[in-house]
C-alpha cells in the first residue's frame, strides 16, 4: 500500500521521537519516499542529521533555511501537495491542540493546514495528559475533521507510570496505515494464492529437468493483487526475482512435489487462486545420489508423471475462484477450453507461442482470457505488468457480478 507513495513525516517534541529513526526505515522498506518536517523542540530528542541520512532527504525545521550566508524558503504548500500521506508521529498534546484549533506557529503546522492528502497522527504523552479532557477534545475534534488517529498503546511511560499514552510502535504504525489504505480496494480482505516460475526436478546433485519460465507473470500478478488490497501467498519455483511488497508472502520451492505441498497447505483458506507456474509434467523416476558420469554415447532416464497441482485444486475447490494458464502451440482456444473444463476452473489465461512477444522469458505477453461460460476476450501485446492488471480486471468483474 505504501509502495511508490510520498510520505511526509511530521515529528514533534516528545521522548517518543527517538523511535522515528526506526519508523523511517520501515516506511522506506515498504517502498515509500520519505520527507521529514520537525518542530524545533523535537530536535532535542532525535538528530535531524540521522533522519536526513536515513530518508535521503534534507530535514526541514523552519520556514527559512540559512546556508552559506544565503536564505531560502521551505514552501509548506509544496510539501503538502507533494505528500500522498502525512503522518505526524509522535503527536504531542501541545501539537494536537494547535492542530485542532488552527494555530499555525511553525512549519509543521503550516504544512498540516496545507495538506490535501490523508493525515494520520499517533498521539504520545504521559498517562494523565492522555486522559485529560482537553486532550480528549483535541482527539475528537481532529477525527471529526477527517484525520485518522493511530491509537496510543499501553505500557511503561517516561514518567515511570504504566498505562495509555505510549506512541504506537513503528511496526504497528506502518501496519495501521497499510491496512487503512487497503480499505475499500477491490481485493481488500481477500486471500490470494498464486503459483509462479518453473520447477526443477533433480536428476542428480548437480543436474535437473526444468524450463525457461522466469516467473515474471506470476510475480506481477502478485504485486497487482497486493496493490488492490489483497493478502497474497506467492508460491514460486526457482527464479532470479525478488518480492518485497508488504502484502505478499513469498514461499520458495524447488520441485513440483514441494509446490504441491505448499499449495495445499494454504488452499482451503484461499478466496482466489491463480496457477501461473510452469510446473514440470515429469520427473526422473530415480535421483542419483552421486553425479552421473559419462558412459558411452547415450543416457537413458526413466520419467514418471508429477502430481497435477491445478487438477487437484479443481477437485478440492469449494468457494475458491480458480484460474489456470494454458500455453498452446495449436488449436489454442479449443485446447484451453478443454483444459478449463477438465480441471474445473472458473477461467483460464491462454498464451500462444505463435504470438511474437508472448510466453516465457520476456517482459511482454499476449493473452486471451476465457471464463467458464465460454466468454472469450483477447488482448493486445502488453508488458506483463499491464497484462496482470487486465487479468485482475477480468477476475474482479466476475467475482463481484
Cell of 400: 463481484
The strand pairing partners of 326, in sequence order, are 350
User: What was the pLDDT predicted at 361?
Assistant: 65
- CB-based contact 325:369 (threshold 8 Å): no
H/E run at residue 97: helix 93-101
User: What was the pLDDT predicted at 382?
Assistant: 93
Q: Which of 75, 211, 261, 344 is catalytic?
A: 211
Cell of 336: 484451453
Closest CA to 361 of 351, 370, 369: 351
- What domains does the chain contain, in order, with CATH numbers? 6-182 (3.40.50.1950), 191-280+299-399 (3.40.50.10300)
Cell of 287: 535421483
Q: What pLDDT tens digit does each residue of the chain (401 aa) get?
A: 787 899 999 999 999 999 999 999 999 988 899 999 999 999 999 999 999 999 999 999 887 776 655 666 677 888 889 999 999 999 999 999 999 999 999 999 999 999 999 999 999 999 899 999 999 999 999 999 999 999 999 888 887 878 888 999 999 999 899 889 888 889 988 999 999 999 999 999 999 999 989 999 999 999 999 989 899 999 999 999 999 787 899 999 999 999 999 999 999 999 999 999 999 999 999 999 999 998 888 889 999 999 999 999 999 999 999 999 998 878 899 999 999 999 999 999 998 777 776 666 678 999 999 999 999 999 999 999 999 999 999 999 999 86
How does DSSP classify residue 278?
Answer: B
CA 246 to chain centre: 4
Distance in angstroms (rounded) separating the CA atoms of residues 246 and 31: 9
Q: What is the pTM (predicted TM-score) of this model? A: 0.74
Number of other residues whose CB lies within 10 A of the CB of residue 81: 13
Helix ranges (H only) for 102-240 are 107-114, 127-131, 133-144, 170-182, 216-227
Distance in angstroms (rounded) separating the CA atoms of residues 332 and 353: 9
Closest CA to 95 of 58, 62, 123: 123
Distance in angstroms (rounded) separating the CA atoms of residues 226 and 247: 5
Distance in angstroms (rounded) separating the CA atoms of residues 125 and 93: 7
Distance in angstroms (rounded) separating the CA atoms of residues 31 and 245: 8
The strand pairing partners of 197, in sequence order, are none
What is the distance between the terminal CA atoms of the chain, rounded to a whole angstrom?
A: 25
Distance in angstroms (rounded) separating the CA atoms of residues 13 and 115: 21
Residue 211 annotated as catalytic: yes
H/E run at residue 304: strand 303-305
Amino acid at each position: 500500500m505504501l509502495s511508490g507513495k510520498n510520505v511526509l513525516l511530521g515529528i514533534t517534541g516528545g521522548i517518543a521521537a527517538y523511535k522515528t529513526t526506526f519508523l523511517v526505515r520501515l516506511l522506506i522498506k515498504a517502498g515509500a519516499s520519505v520527507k521529514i518536517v520537525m518542530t524545533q523542540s523535537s530536535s532535542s530528542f532525535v538528530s535531524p542529521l540521522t533522519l536526513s541520512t536515513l530518508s535521503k532527504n534534507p530535514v526541514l525545521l523552519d520556514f527559512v533555511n540559512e546556508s552559506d550566508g544565503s536564505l531560502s524558503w521551505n514552501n509548506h504548500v509544496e510539501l503538502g501537495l507533494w505528500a500522498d500521506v502525512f503522518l505526524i508521529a509522535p503527536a504531542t498534546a501541545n501539537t494536537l491542540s494547535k492542530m485542532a484549533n488552527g494555530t499555525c506557529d511553525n512549519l509543521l503546522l503550516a504544512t498540516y493546514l496545507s495538506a490535501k492528502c490523508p493525515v494520520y497522527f499517533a498521539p504520545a504523552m504521559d498517562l494523565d495528559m492522555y486522559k485529560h479532557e482537553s486532550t480528549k477534545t483535541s482527539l475528537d475534534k481532529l477525527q471529526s475533521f477527517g484525520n485518522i488517529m493511530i491509537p496510543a498503546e499501553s505500557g511503561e511511560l517516561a514518567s515511570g507510570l504504566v498505562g495509555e499514552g505510549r506512541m504506537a510502535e513503528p511496526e504497528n504504525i506502518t501496519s495501521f496505515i497499510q491496512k487503512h489504505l487497503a480499505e475499500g480496494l477491490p481485493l481488500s480482505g481477500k486471500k490470494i494464492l498464486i503459483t509462479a516460475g518453473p520447477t526443477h526436478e533433480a536428476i542428480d546433485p548437480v543436474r535437473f529437468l526444468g524450463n525457461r519460465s522466469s516467473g515474471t507473470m506470476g510475480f506481477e500478478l502478485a504485486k497487482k493483487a497486493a496493490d488492490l488490497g489483497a493478502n497474497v501467498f506467492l508460491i514460486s519455483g526457482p527464479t532470479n526475482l525478488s518480492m518485497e511488497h508488504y502484502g505478499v508472502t513469498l514461499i520458495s520451492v524447488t520441485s513440483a512435489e514441494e509446490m504441491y505441498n505448499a499449495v495445499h497447505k494454504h488452499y482451503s483458506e484461499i478466496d482466489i487462486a491463480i496457477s501461473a507456474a510452469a510446473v514440470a509434467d515429469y520427473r526422473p523416476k530415480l535421483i542419483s545420489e552421486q553425479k552421473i558420469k559419462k558412459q558411452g554415447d547415450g543416457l537413458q532416464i526413466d520419467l514418471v508423471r508429477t502430481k497435477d497441482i491445478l487438477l487437484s485444486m479443481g477437485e478440492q475447490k469449494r468457494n475458491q475462484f480458480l484460474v489456470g494458464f494454458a500455453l498452446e502451440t495449436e488449436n489454442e482456444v479449443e485446447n484451453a477450453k478443454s483444459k478449463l473444463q477438465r480441471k474445473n476452473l472458473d477461467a483460464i489465461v491462454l498464451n500462444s507461442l505463435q504470438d511474437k512477444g508472448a510466453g516465457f522469458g520476456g517482459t511482454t505477453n499476449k493473452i486471451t482470457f476465457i471464463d467458464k461460460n465460454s466468454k472469450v476476450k483477447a488482448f493486445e501485446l502488453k508488458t506483463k505488468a499491464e497484462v496482470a492488471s487486465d487479468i485482475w480486471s477480468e477476475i474482479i468483474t466476475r467475482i463481484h457480478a
